[in-house]
Homo-oligomer: A and B are copies of this chain.
Amino acid sequence: MWGRKKAELPPEVYPSVLDGIKKIYRENIRPLEEMYRFDEFNSPLLRDSDFDAKPMVLFLGQYSTGKTSFITYLMEGEYPGSHIGPEPTTDRFVAIMGGKDEMIIPGNALVVQADMPFRALSRYGNDFLNKFQASVTNAPILDDLVIVDTPGVLSGEKQRIGRSYDFTSVVEWFAQRADMIVLVFDAHKLDISDEFKRTIEVLKGQDDKIRVVLNKADGVTGQQLLRVYGALMWSLGKVLKTPEVTRVYVGSFWAQPYQNPDYAKLFDAERDDLLRDLHMLPRQSTIRKVNELVKRARLAKVHAYVIAHLRAEMPVFGKKSKQEELIKGLNTVFNAVMQRYQLSPGDFPDIVRFREKLAHMDFSTFSKLNERVIQSADDALATEIPKLVKMFPLEHQVVPSQTNP
């Protein structure tokens, strides 16, 4: 199923773009970051493996809506530890990842692995880690994606009693890191529980990643489907609050034939659209990585100018009081740097947080202005990265927008 569509997969250009990104970061940006201690102010220095992370697809929904069935359909097989059934079955967060040998890595082991993107999850505690695992297996789709299966959202009391960790916070963490969030609804029972409404609410700001699936749509009559679908749109519009209509895919997403074949053509078309969207992810994720590299390079450059400026202001005597004066007049410093080097105000750091960081530092240990290192970052922005972008086939240079008519 995934395999059959290989032709639509990103052409061989994407791996080489990825290599390009790594090389540019390593040679042109990282030296600048190191020299001006960018990691102490902003985010940690990146390693090659940070760029390798596969796009992540997060499945969310009330219990028994068919999340696990959908995933095994995409994988053309089960994943280690998967359970499908009418009762609430999936009882944990499962990161499904590609690998030669089948295995299950428990949550506690997972969050200490430096080459996995899950280290930050340790803050949700043991109660959560006991309900988190990676399932490693071999399936074509896992060459391109990491899929996260989740426990179904229960309603009311059950939810509160059942879970000993903060479910919505965990969902929020995954949602921020995900490249696509698939919300699965069941056409037979649409009542969106308050719990699930709250879950959807933490997805705010991630609206463009959300795809909604109205599953098991072949099990109801046309009129029922119309009502259920309409009610879903009616309430989603209110919960998500965006004017742009979120795309809802209507169909039955598992390997069984349709119960009611009246709308087979429609359901097939919907499924194909959704699969196309999924297939697009690796390519989009490469494009996004380029964008993020550009963003990071601009921030690091402005950061370097500011730090070098502070260093240059340091006198031989009276360092301490000068430092205090500079910290107090930080906006004057920012303005001076902005005008002198013609920088964009949007690339400057948040002044309050920056001031806090500076408070405990000795400005005289900062590096002086190094034109060569900055020039190298500038070259990346002006020449190297545009070269990378030119490698994308023309029609993919813009992130494809959603295919609403």
A78 → B minimal CB distance (Å): 31
Verify A250–B226 contact, CB threshold 8 A. Answer: yes
**Assembly stoichiometry (copies):** 2
A190: nearest chain-B partner, CB-CB? B405
Verify B229–A405 contact, CB threshold 8 A. Answer: no
Verify B222–A263 contact, CB threshold 8 A. Answer: yes
The binding surface of chain A is classed by DSSP as helix
A297 within 8 A of B: no
Interface residues of A in 213-255 (CB under 8 A from B): 222-224, 226-238, 243, 245-246, 248, 250
A222: nearest chain-B partner, CB-CB? B266
The tally of residues in A whose CB lies under 8 Å from a CB in B reads 30
Interface residues of A in 180-235 (CB under 8 A from B): 222-224, 226-235
A234: nearest chain-B partner, CB-CB? B237
- A233 contact from B233, B243, B269, Cβ within 8 A: B233
How far apart are the CA atoms of A254 and B177 in the complex, in Å?
51
A240: nearest chain-B partner, CB-CB? B234
> Apart from A230-B230, A233-B237, A234-B234, what 4 extra A-B contacts exist at CB < 8 Å?
A223-B273, A234-B236, A234-B246, A238-B238
* Complex A-B: 28 CB contacts under 8 Å: A222-B263, A222-B266, A222-B269, A223-B266, A223-B269, A223-B273, A223-B405, A224-B405, A226-B229, A226-B270, A228-B405, A229-B230, A229-B233, A230-B230, A230-B245, A231-B233, A231-B245, A231-B404, A232-B233, A233-B234, A234-B237, A234-B245, A234-B246, A235-B243, A235-B245, A237-B237, A237-B238, A238-B238
**4 cross-chain pairs, A with B, having the tightest CB-CB distances, nearest first:** A233-B233, A234-B237, A222-B266, A230-B233
